[in-house]
Amino acid sequence: MDWNSFLGHERQRAWFRNAIQNNRLASTFLMVGPDGIGKRTFARLIAKTMLCTGSEPSAFAPCCRCEACAQIDASSHPDLIEIARRPDKTSLIMEQLVGEGDRRMREGLCYELRMKPYSGRCKIAIVDDADTIAEEGANSLLKTLEEPPPGSLIFLISTSVQRQLPTIRSRCQMARFQPLTVNSLAQLILRHAYSDNPADALSLAAQASGSMSTVANWTNEELRMFRTELFHQLVQRPLDFTKLAKAVQGNMESVGTDTQPRRERLKVILDFALQFYRSGMELQLNAQSADASDSAAMAQFGHLMSLDSDSFVTAIQRCMAAREHLDRMVSPASLIEAWAADLAVISQA
């Protein structure tokens, strides 16, 4: 991966290029934006730019041929430390930051950052899922954020500023990332072989809210089947909210008993519902111009959707609120029931 093949985020690129060329790069960045838009890849490209031995950082064009570039691609560069939430955990754990048991402060990200750079240039840390750092972990990270080792660079990857503890937020420079454009997303869909047809890629991209994570969910076969079932239920009048809640709960539970995977699944389902109402509203607005980004998945339901535009907006807001509540760890079962019941009321309006 190099800057030429990286899509989007031109403003952030220009900003970082300028900061590197003028030697004004801060130490600690909070990179904020939705999932699946390339924040982590961006941070890794900055790491490549800084650590490439075939090109100076100021050139802002890592060679992608030297050993350092290859090591970064393989996640094996000794000066690049990357951590992310472990799949079976709901948060980043202390051990990842400051080491375990009697190894405390002698391993983990904060310790490794203080080691002398192997390359002689700098140490770089990328903390993915930074939204999930619990308070205890955050406290152990504060000192490192407050006094970063000289020349080190720390990237915290986050989906929401609100989800960051104020103590962390105040110690970082913020870099905001926007969803990808439909054209960029369509190119990525083709590149990653989610589709081999440019027209289909464009249609998929138009529904995916600028995120590759959404593309992956929309193209997953099992999820695709559930989504169709969900859409069928959402167009029913009256909307049978008990049936809807049961179907959603059942699908969420199908991923196992662990809290985190269930939460992730419920988030995907809420996004489907959100997309359903957004597309429905779009179809209604574009009723006269049939050629507008009309999506195959929605077209079959469009004529069944009898909501007025205010109700569309209310339904969209209700889905967004449910998603936010989920982030705040409300019990999923009661969240699903309340959400389904409210949709039933909204759809009667």
Q: Which residues bind Zn ion (CB under 5 A)?
A: 52, 54, 62-63, 66, 69
Residue 117 beta carbon to Zn ion: minimum distance, rounded to whole angstroms: 16
Rg from Cα positions in the chain:
22
Residue 65 beta carbon to Zn ion: minimum distance, rounded to whole angstroms: 6
Alpha-carbon distance of 28 to 174, in angstroms, equals: 9
Q: How many residues does the chain have?
A: 349
By C-beta, is 49 or 164 nearer to Zn ion? 49
Alpha-carbon distance of 13 to 19, in angstroms, equals: 10
Alpha-carbon distance of 17 to 34, in angstroms, equals: 23
By C-beta, is 69 or 188 nearer to Zn ion? 69
Rounded to the nearest 10°, the torsion over CA 142, 87, 185, 179 is: -30
By C-beta, is 47 or 340 nearer to Zn ion? 47
By C-beta, is 13 or 86 nearer to Zn ion? 13
By C-beta, is 52 or 266 nearer to Zn ion? 52
Residue 64 beta carbon to Zn ion: minimum distance, rounded to whole angstroms: 6
Backbone phi, psi, residue 251, to 5°: -65, -40
By C-beta, is 68 or 340 nearer to Zn ion? 68
Angle at 123 between CA 164 and CA 72, to 5 degrees: 95
Residue 67 beta carbon to Zn ion: minimum distance, rounded to whole angstroms: 8
By C-beta, is 73 or 310 nearer to Zn ion? 73
Residue 6 beta carbon to Zn ion: minimum distance, rounded to whole angstroms: 15
Alpha-carbon distance of 273 to 266, in angstroms, equals: 11
Residue 53 beta carbon to Zn ion: minimum distance, rounded to whole angstroms: 6
Cβ–Cβ under 8 Å, residues 49 and 60:
yes
- What are the CB-based long-range contacts (under 8 Å, 24+) for 299-305? 301/231, 301/232, 301/234, 301/235, 301/276, 304/235, 305/235, 305/280
3-class SS at 25? coil
Alpha-carbon distance of 110 to 185, in angstroms, equals: 35
Residue 72 beta carbon to Zn ion: minimum distance, rounded to whole angstroms: 8
